[in-house]
Amino acid sequence: MTMPRRAIIALAITSAVGLAGCGTHSSTLPPEGGSLGAKPGVGAGGTNAPALNGSSQTNINAYDGAGFATPAFPPTTIAGYLNGLPLAPATIKVEESPDGPVLASPQGKTLYMRLGDTPTHSGCYATCLLAFPPMLTNGAPQASGGILAGYLGVLTSANKGEQISYAGHPLYTYSGDTTPGQISAEGAGGIWFAVTPAGTPLKTPAKTAASNAG
């Protein structure tokens, strides 16, 4: 006896439902809000700061290169600048800090180096530049007493200005410093260090960690 066409279709639908319910055929759905097989994120990628005198490595790409959550500093205003850039060569000088002599801007603000920078590249950008404005010049930088003129150099800053370097370290001020010789960013993020006239960090990361622990 031949089964009617309508009965054949009904039987096929019933069989498919029964197979899905008994587990003979199954499909794996991606988790809600993700894709199948996706792994949890591990944060922003990037290189790490090189070890200095045996210190541990630090993520230098966090917070736009600052390495730590900086305060919300407004843009820096400096006399003699036009549209954020200087109109003349800048003179680097020496100021006395609580831990010894350090490089300073013409206004007396301590100058810092950033681990992970190179003589031709600064890794500080966006909000990092508000906390650590690059030490800029317009033309060849000048050296005052105690500064080794041969150590001075210039690179293109992330804000397109001429940033001064010293002994191969791009130089920055810190917006949180308010008086000459102040070093409130010393050791910040494990990557910021005031620079001595010899072109070395005022403190090594290891010494900074020990003083903070004490």
176-205 pLDDT, tens digit per residue, is 999 999 999 999 999 999 999 999 999 875
Note whether residue 181 is domain-resident: yes
pLDDT at residue 22 is higher than 80: no
CA distance 144 to 37: 61
Note whether residue 159 is domain-resident: yes
Output the CA torsion sign for 155, 137, 129, 165: positive
Note whether residue 11 is domain-resident: no
Is the model more confident about 174 or about 84?
A: 174
Residue-range definition of the domain harbouring residue 108? 62-213
Give the pairing of strands 142-143 and 91-97: parallel
Note whether residue 167 is domain-resident: yes
Note whether residue 20 is domain-resident: no
- What local confidence, expressed as pLDDT, does residue 80 receive? 87
Note whether residue 67 is domain-resident: yes
CA distance 101 to 103: 7
CA distance 187 to 203: 8
Output the CA torsion sign for 122, 195, 93, 174: positive
Report the chain's mean pLDDT, rounded to a whole number. 76
Note whether residue 21 is domain-resident: no
Residues with Cβ within 8 Å of residue 161, at least 6 apart in sequence: 84, 85, 86, 134, 136
In this predicted model, what pLDDT tens digit does every residue of 56-71 receive, in sequence order?
Answer: 445 677 899 999 999 9
- The number of domains in the chain is 1
Note whether residue 103 is domain-resident: yes
